[in-house]
Structure 1
Amino acid sequence: MLSKTLISAAIAAALALVPATRAAADSRDFIAGAIIGGIGGAIINNEVRKNKARQAARQRAVAPRTYATQPRAYRAPAKKTYRPSIPATPEGREIQSSLNYFGFDAGTIDGKVGSRTRDAIADYQRYMGYEGTGTLTSFQQHLLTSAYFRAEAGGNRTFQDIASHPDGTRGLLKIYREDLATGSTSERTLRPEPSAATTEFTDL
């Protein structure tokens, strides 16, 4: 009888202890889960904050800057002005050919009196003692072109005149202007050139 009582008491104690043990185990699992969950949550929150910071940095780098300034007044775009092309003329070709012949660089002989040709005209005018305006007077143009044609047709006389003047080819302009002033143009152009046929040789 005593043994039955002891066995019953042991079984009752065991039964009483089992729920307590389970309850203790469950509470330990809960605490451990809470700790792990708290750590995991903190890590996740930290990553979320980092991702937001990265996205904000990207948006700042890509988004245009905005300045809190007064709005600018609208300005209409400037109208383009087109300069009309310079017409090519035979007279322009004569002027350019004459300038280039006498060493005043007018560029390509295209008949268009543009800025380069005008610079050459101004050089010619200054060389001749005139004001370098870049625009020829009728006399200056006549002197320039007639001197060119005369030099081209002058043959040996042209070479002699070039050799006799310290300015070389340019010097022809001053020689021919002096001839125009003194009226000796015809005399200079009509003077016969010495030829080999008329040269006499004497033996010594």
Structure 2
Amino acid sequence: MRTLTMGLALIAPAFLFSGVARAQDTAVARGQAVAAERNCGACHGERGVSATPTIPSLAGQQGEFVTLQLVLFREGLRDVPAMQAPAEGLTDQQVEDLGAYFASLPHSPPPDRARRNVGAYNNGAALANRLRCGVCHLPNLVGQNQVPHIAGQREEFLAGTLKAYRDGTRHGTDTQMNAAVYGLSDAQIDAIAHYVSQR
């Protein structure tokens, strides 16, 4: 009897893991269908890698971050006109499924990424270290939970986003970013954006 109990105790986690994996696969498939229906690829790229300088790539993004941003768009708490129609009417399930789908895609830098400028890269690295970007975004800048994956993101998008935080024109839930970049010059932000985009 003891052997049987021990055997069941070893098998149960495998079944549980299998069930979780199947549920995740189902969420990804549903998210892919919603992404196709809402034509997300027209702006963010067919496999989540944006070909447009001011539009972020979503491939490999943190699922919880995507979910949160879509809720903010849907509820009108983030004012990005291009996202109003795509987010309109999304259910909570669809929002979570889209997060799961984009998180499942392999991260890749944009095909037109600029060549590394060593001076700007080193300056950006020093600034990112001083500002402790790696505390929230993790040392490799892949993010965690509701903190976005920023490594390899489009440089122009990063620069524009950081300037919007600095200038108080980007609204949402993360006021820590407004404080983190307060007082930075355009040149400093551009250096950080170059460094992060090259990671």
TM-score range, shorter chain: under 0.3
What TM-score do the two structures reach when normalised by structure 1?
0.24
For CA contacts below 8 A with separation 6 or more, give which structure has more relative contact order. Answer: 2
What TM-score do the two structures reach when normalised by structure 2?
0.24
Q: Please identify the structure whose Cα radius of gyration is greater.
A: 1
